[in-house]
Amino acid sequence: MQKFFSLFIKYNSYLLFIVYCSIAVLFMKFKDDEVLAKLRTGGIEFNAFISDKMMSYSYVVNLKKENDLLIRINADLLAKVLNFENATLDERNRQKILADTTLNASKFKIARVVSRKFSDRDNILLINAGWKNGIKKDMTVLTPEGLVGRVSVVSEHFAKVIPVINTDFKVVVVSDKSKSMGVLSWNGSKEFIAHIEHIPISSSLKLNEQILTSDFSTFSMRGIPVGKVISIKPDNLFYTVEVKLAVDFSSLTQVLIAPLKIEPEKVEMIGNDTPN
């Protein structure tokens, strides 16, 4: 017995090691036990909690860097959102144009306004359709709301449009009820107001009458809405008529281009360089 105890004392390191290893092996064997599983879960939860706190701390420390990164990401996202919004708007306008039953859209070409200049030097619209898309000079540009203008210069992929609100633009118009006829032009004042000349005092033109393009026009097809009469002032022989234009030029994005009205003889007979 004494020998056993002396042996035990002599080799107690080994015995301790064996005991610990046995416990470890038991833990390995019963690793799926409920108590051990709970212990493990608790440990992992603690680990996750501390890691989360450390991440929060590192987040605070790296806040400036994070902020810069977020600003950059924000800028990227903003650019993407703007692109998507523009695409959606363009598509909506296109659908609106196609859905409009008053216009036979199949004959029209659709284009997007890519640039607009409204200054003392230039007052034009640029559309993304050129002679490659079948666009020709003097084609009528319109939207379902009304007349936009006339194609003046055509390149391969783009075309320049003289809008109604250009002093060089003139078009023969007619009112829808009284059938009073005159020449519509814009004198450079308000962006949404145009004037009709040559309507005689004898005409029965009334306020709020719709003004449409006339068949007398050398370039435009008839019946395109132009605007609504908002003021009639009598002069010596003619009325001075103010028309509120149907098209909002400030928010123009998508336009239609009507097929060319081929009447060169008519232009020749009138003898006017500028079609109206």
Partner 1 sequence: MTKNIFYFIGGLFIVVLVQEFGLSHLTLFKVSPDIVTIFIAFISISIGQKTGTSFGFAAGILSGILSGNIGLNMLARTLEGFIAGYFNIPEDSHATAKQKIKRLYGAVATSGFCANAVLETGYNPLGLPLTYRIVALGLLGTLFTLLLAVIITRLFLRQSLAD
Minimum CB distance to partner 1 smaller for 21 or for 82: 21
- In the numeric block, which tokens belong to residue 199? 């309507």
Minimum CB distance to partner 1 smaller for 19 or for 70: 19
Shortest reach from residue 26's CB to partner 1, in Å: 7
Give the span between the Cα atoms of 27 and 111, in whole angstroms.
Answer: 76
| Residue 229, beta-bridge partner list | 243
Tell the residue number behind the tokens 């363009």, with chain if given: 90
Asked if residue 24 binds partner 1 (CB under 8 A), the reply is yes
Chosen residue from 21, 63, 79, 270 binding partner 1 by CB under 8 A: 21
Asked if residue 115 binds partner 1 (CB under 8 A), the reply is no
Chosen residue from 7, 26, 70, 99 binding partner 1 by CB under 8 A: 26
Spell out the residues 6+ positions from residue 127 whose beta carbon is closer than 8 angstroms to its own.
Answer: 111, 112, 113, 114, 135, 141, 158, 159, 161, 255, 257
- In the numeric block, which tokens belong to residue 42? 């608790």
Binding mask 29-68 for partner 1 (x = CB under 8 A): x-x----x--xx-xxx-xx--xx--x--------------
- CA 19, distance to chain mean position in Å, is 76
Number of H helices and number of E strands within the chain? 5, 12
Residues touching partner 1, count (CB under 8 A): 25
Residues in the chain: 276
Phi (first) and psi of residue 93, to 5 degrees: -65, -40
Chosen residue from 2, 4, 9, 13 binding partner 1 by CB under 8 A: 13
Shortest reach from residue 63's CB to partner 1, in Å: 21
Residues that bind partner 1 (CB under 8 A): 12-13, 16-17, 20-21, 23-29, 31, 36, 39-40, 42-44, 46-47, 50-51, 54
